[in-house]
Amino acid sequence: MDDSTAQTPERTAEATAGPELADLRVAVIGAGNMGGPVVRTLLAAGVRPAHLRIANSGPASSERAAAELGATAAASRTEALEDADVVVLGVKPYQILDLVAELRGDLPAGAVVVSLAAGITLAQIEQALPEGSPVVRAMPNTPISVGEGAVGLMRGTAVTAAQRELVHALFSHAGVAVDITEDQVHAFIAAAGSLAGFAFAIIEAMTEEAVRQGLKRDLADALVQQTLRGAATMLLESGTHPALAKAGVCSPGGTTAEGYAAFEREGVRAGLAATMAAAAERSRQLTED
């Protein structure tokens, strides 16, 4: 893989149009908590619902997921793979290598395999597939389902430039899609993959305090969520450093300065850093297991 460390994130929906996706056939094996949002972003990018076949652990589950996501249920994993140009693997990491071994005979020649599994390397997946199979690891987060997420893309040794472009086109409505190296995936998980979960926890904690301070819950929900979205949008649109934006709202002797002093005193910054570091460390452990 080439060195892509200097890549600047680009808002994917604003990226220039890539390859035509309407004729592409995609199989998603495992459309659960993460595979589901991936299905939504692939459909938003232009894959036709009739061409996006889902196979979960059984037909009833595949039907349920397909109905909820607006795609097509396959009767079996084998049927999902028929004529597939791209195969997305959304099962749990511990299942993926057995699944790849089981599916390898049914994989259409040249199909690009996209693994969502944390902790399973490109080399491990490549080894389980026929030599020369194009493999991509995608590390997404759940906000991709509303076009406001992030996905880190890692390419195996056999992936061509056209296949790279194809995978970027598939994630063109995810929010931000960037090429990363496998070494960077642990930091990416801390800063995007798992960060969505931490953001939900932070929002929940802030909302509870807003309620404790006397706001009705629906108002607290709206104020916290809108303010965090607005703060992120301001930074994204202006490119302002967050420390400068923070200084701009801390008037001398004012409420924000007082609150910010408590933020530091109570160790919130250190707690956030420890939270992200723990996620990155767990990712490293999972890869070594």
Ligand X SMILES: NC(=O)c1ccc[n+]([C@@H]2O[C@H](COP(=O)([O-])OP(=O)(O)OC[C@H]3O[C@@H](n4cnc5c(N)ncnc54)[C@H](OP(=O)(O)O)[C@@H]3O)[C@@H](O)[C@H]2O)c1
Q: In whole angstroms, what is the distance from residue 124 CA to residue 248 CA?
A: 49
Please report the sign of the dihedral spanned by the C-alpha atoms of residue 237, residue 242, residue 246, residue 248. negative
- The single residue among 116, 122, 153, 167 that binds ligand X, judged by CB under 6 A, is 116
Is 193 among the residues that bind ligand X (CB under 6 A)?
yes
Q: What angle do CA 59, 60, 66 make, to 5 degrees?
A: 85
Closest CA to 286 of 94, 29, 67, 33: 94
Query: What residues contact 38, with CB distance under 8 A and at least 6 apart?
Result: 28, 31, 88, 90, 116, 138, 140, 144
- Least distance in Å: CB of 211 to ligand X? 27
Is 95 among the residues that bind ligand X (CB under 6 A)?
yes
Q: Pick out residues in 56-85 that bind ligand X (CB under 6 A).
A: 56-58, 61, 77
# chain residues binding ligand X, by CB under 6 A: 26
Is 192 among the residues that bind ligand X (CB under 6 A)?
no
Q: Pick out residues in 139-178 that bind ligand X (CB under 6 A).
A: 139-140, 142
Identity of the residue, 92 or 104, whose beta carbon is nearer to ligand X in the bound complex: 92
- The single residue among 25, 26, 35, 53 that binds ligand X, judged by CB under 6 A, is 35
Is 30 among the residues that bind ligand X (CB under 6 A)?
yes
Identity of the residue, 198 or 260, whose beta carbon is nearer to ligand X in the bound complex: 198
First vs last C-alpha separation in the chain: 23
Residues at the binding site are 29-34
Q: Which residues pair with 136 in a beta bridge?
A: 114, 155
- Least distance in Å: CB of 38 to ligand X? 8
Identity of the residue, 102 or 258, whose beta carbon is nearer to ligand X in the bound complex: 102
**Nearest residue to ligand X, scored by beta-carbon proximity:** 32
- Least distance in Å: CB of 223 to ligand X? 26
Structure tokens at 13: 């929906």
Kindly give the interhelix angle for 268-288 and 195-212, rounded to the nearest 10 degrees: 150
Q: In whole angstroms, what is the distance from residue 140 CA to residue 180 CA?
A: 12
Query: Which residues are at the interface with ligand X (CB under 6 A)?
Result: 29-35, 55-58, 61, 77, 90-93, 95, 99, 116-118, 139-140, 142, 193
